[in-house]
Structure 1
C-alpha cells in the first residue's frame, strides 16, 4: 500500500523520523526537491521508509562539495573518505600520475581531478556496475576507467611510474558485515564491503601491488579502521613501504599513507 502523501513538510519529517532516519529534516527537504508530484514523493518515501539508501533515491551523493552520481548497488561515498582525499592531495607534487583502485562511483577520482592537475588519471573497479557509474561521473575529466581487479587492468607501461595510488578498498571483517546498517549490507554490493576475515585481505594485496607500481618516492593512501592500523602498517613495512597514520576526529576517519623509498 502506498504511503499517503504528507499534507506538509512536518508530516514527512515525522514519517522519516519514525522510520529511524537520523537526519529526517534534511532528508525531507531532499525528497521534496526530488519529487515531481505527490505520487512520486509517496513512492520515494515508501522506498526510504523501507530502508533504501537516500542516495539511490536521489541518484546522487554529496562528496567533498561535489555531486556524485550513484547508481543502485554501487558503494555510496562516505563523508569520512574526505580524509583520504585530503591526505592524497597533500602528498602529491605537480602533474602526478594517479590511480584510484576500488573506485566505486569514482567519487575519490573526481575529487582528486579537481584538486590536482594529473598528467594521467585512472580509476579501476572489479564491479561492472561501479565502472559504469564511474565512467559517467568522470566523463569530460580526462580520466580513464578500467574494469578489473586492483592493478591488473592498468596499462603495464605505468608499472613503477605511478606517483599516487589511492584505494578505498573494502575493510569490514566478514563477520562484521552482518552488523552493518541495513542500508549498506542489504543494498550495496558485498564486494565493496567485505574485506575478509580480519578486513585486510584486499588492502594487503593493494600494498603488494603498490610496492611494484609506485614510482620511487610515490605514495599509497588508503582508508582503514583504527583497530586495523597496526596490522596494516606491518603489511606495508613487509613490502618495503614506509607508513604514516592520519586520523581526523571530526570525520571519525583514519587514513594510512605509505611512501615507496626513493
Structure 2
C-alpha cells in the first residue's frame, strides 16, 4: 500500500495586516488604535501570537497586561495580569517625591503595586534605600522582579504592618498611590480597570479617602524629622486630603499638573 503523499496541514498562520488590526481595535473602542496596533505587532513572537493578543485586546483586557509591561516615566515596567496598571498622571507623584529626596534617602512606597513609583524615583535620585509594600501577593511578586536590581525590600501586607521596626523615625520620603475612587463610583470606571484590576487598588471607601487617612494617621511614626509624605488624589478631594494631613500633625501642601491632569498632596513632618 502506498503511503499518502499529502503534506500535513501547515501550522503557519498568516499575519494580519496593520490596517486590519487597527480596524478591529478601533471597532472595539480603542481610542489610540494605531499606537496599540504597533505595540502589539512589535510584541508578538509569531502571527498566531499576534492574533491571540489582538483577540484579547478586543475582548477588553488591558493592553499592558497583554504585552506584559507599561512605559512609566520612560521606564519599561513589568505588569502582570491582575495587577494595577500605573497611570501616566502618577508621574507627578514621582517628580514631587524625587524633588524632596536626596541621594541615599530612605524611601518607602506603600500600596506599591508593580513597584513602578519606587523604580522611577530610584532612576532620578542616586543610591536610595527603597522599601515597598502591597497587600496583593500578585503585585508583590511583580514588584520584586521590577525592583530586584535596586536591592529593594518588598513586603506583602497592609500598609505599615509588614515594615521592619528599624525604619520607625528613619523614613525620609513616604510615597503612596493608594486607592481614592469613592465606592459608588467604582462601577463607573472603564471595564479595563473594574474587571481586570484588583478592587482593593481602586476602591477608596465612601468618599474615596479611607486609605489615605490611614496612611496619614500613621506617617509621623515612620517619618524622619523633616521627612515628607506624598499621596496622589483628585483635585476634588484635595481639600479633605489636606485636612487629613494637617490633622495627622503634618504641614500640608498641594502640587498640581493640569496637563496630566494630576494632584498630589504633601505632608512634611
Shorter chain as normaliser: what TM range? over 0.9
- Structure 2 unaligned regions, length at least 5: 1-12
Query: What is the Cα deviation at residue 6 of structure 1?
Result: 6.5
For the Cα contact (< 8 Å) 2:16–2:51, is it kept in 1?
A: no
Distance, in Å, in 2 between the alignment partners of 1:226 and 1:126 is: 26
| Cα distance in structure 2, aligned partners of 1:119 and 1:32 | 37
CA–CA distance in 2 between the matches of 1:154 and 1:229?
27
Q: For structure 1, which runs of at least 5 residues remain unmatched after alignment? A: none
Query: What does residue 261 of structure 2 align with?
Result: 252
- 1:101-150 deviation per Cα after TM superposition (whole angstroms, max 9, x unaligned): 00000000111111113452100001000000000001121211011111
Runs of 4+ in 1 over 6 A off after TM superposition: none
Q: Which of residues 87, 98, 109 in structure 1 aligns to 2:96?
A: 87
Q: Whole-Å Cα distance in 2 between the matches of residues 67 and 7 of structure 1?
A: 26
Q: CA deviation at 1:193?
A: 0.5
Distance 1:119 1:227 in 2: 33
Distance in 1 (alpha carbons) for counterparts of 2:128 and 2:34: 43
- In structure 2, the residue matched to 1:72 is 81
Q: Is the 8 A contact 1:98 1:118 kept in 2?
A: no
What's the secondary structure of 1:72's corresponding residue? coil
Instruction: Work out the CA distance in 2 between the residues paired with 1:5 and 1:254.
Output: 47
Task: Find 1:232's aligned residue among 241, 244, 251.
Answer: 241
Q: In 2, Cα distance between the equivalents of 1:95 and 1:151?
A: 21
TM-score, length-normalised on structure 1? 0.95
Q: Secondary structure at the match of 2:254?
A: strand
SS of the residue corresponding to residue 265 of structure 2 reads strand
**DSSP 3-state at the match of 1:165:** strand
Q: Is this contact kept in 1: 2:60–2:192, CA < 8 A?
A: yes
| TM-score relative to the length of structure 2 | 0.93
Indicate whether 1:99 and 2:108 are aligned: yes
Q: Secondary structure at the match of 1:112?
A: helix
Query: 1:27 is matched with which residue?
Result: 36
Determine the C-alpha separation between the residues in 2 that align with 1:215 and 1:5: 60
Could you say which structure has the larger radius of gyration? 2
What RMSD, in angstroms, separates the aligned Cα atoms of the two structures? 1.2
The aligned residue for residue 10 of structure 2 is: none
| 2:218 paired residue number | 209
Count of aligned pairs: 257
Q: Are residues 215 and 8 of structure 1, via their aligned partners in 2, closer, same or farther at CA, if it must alter by over 3 Å?
A: same
